[in-house]
Each structure stands twice: as C-alpha cells, then as structure tokens.
Amino acid sequence: MADKVGNGMRRYVGVIHKENDSDFGLSFPDFPGVITAGRTMAEVRRLAEMALAFHVEGLIEDDGSVPEPTPLEHVVAEGDVLGTVRVRLKLQSS
C-alpha cells in the first residue's frame, strides 16, 4: 500500500501504545510530539486524524514543510506497542 495516494492524500503511520489500566495512545514517528489517546481503538484513530491535521496545518502556516510519510516497514516500534495504523491526511493545495 502506497503512503501517497493521490489528490493530496498521504498516509502516515501511527504507533498504538497500551499499558495496563490505561487508554490507547497513538504517536506519529514522522511528527515527534504529536500524540493522542482514547478509550477505544476507534476513538484513538479518530482523534489521531484530528491531531495530525491540526499539527500539519500549523507546519504549513509556519514554513510549508511537511515531511514525506515513512513507509510502514521502516517504522521501528519499541516498548509497549500494541500495533500500527495508517492515518490519512488530506493536504490542501496552496
């Protein structure tokens, strides 16, 4: 599956974390510091799309530089990783 899918759409890898007695957490290797959490997998995925879109909007406003998606097979996950998902992002044309 390609990380760039046309029409300004990209897919970024989100790494899902889960510890005992915690919500699901999700972080983005391509965007250090962008994290979110939710009680269910569906909620964390929905919130991840919102967090990623908000962060990228700020990047574009600041300097227009948005990193290319790292291919899933190149993402190294450590620790309490439950799995990965691809989170879609629609980039607006300038």
Domain boundaries, the chain: 4-88
Say if residue 1's pLDDT is above 70.
no
Token readout for 48 is 């991840």
User: What is the model's pLDDT at position 37?
Assistant: 95
Does the reported pTM lie above 0.85?
Answer: no
CATH of domain 4-88: 3.30.160.250
Burial of 64 (0-12, 13-18, 19+ CB in 10 A): exposed
Contact between 64 and 78 under an 8 Å Cβ cutoff? The reply is: no
Token readout for 6 is 């046309």
User: What is the model's pLDDT at position 6?
Assistant: 59
The count of residues in the chain is: 94
pLDDT tens per residue across span 47-93: 999 999 999 999 888 887 888 998 888 886 555 666 778 887 877 65
CA distance 57 to 60: 5
pLDDT range class, residue 4, cuts 50, 70, 90? low
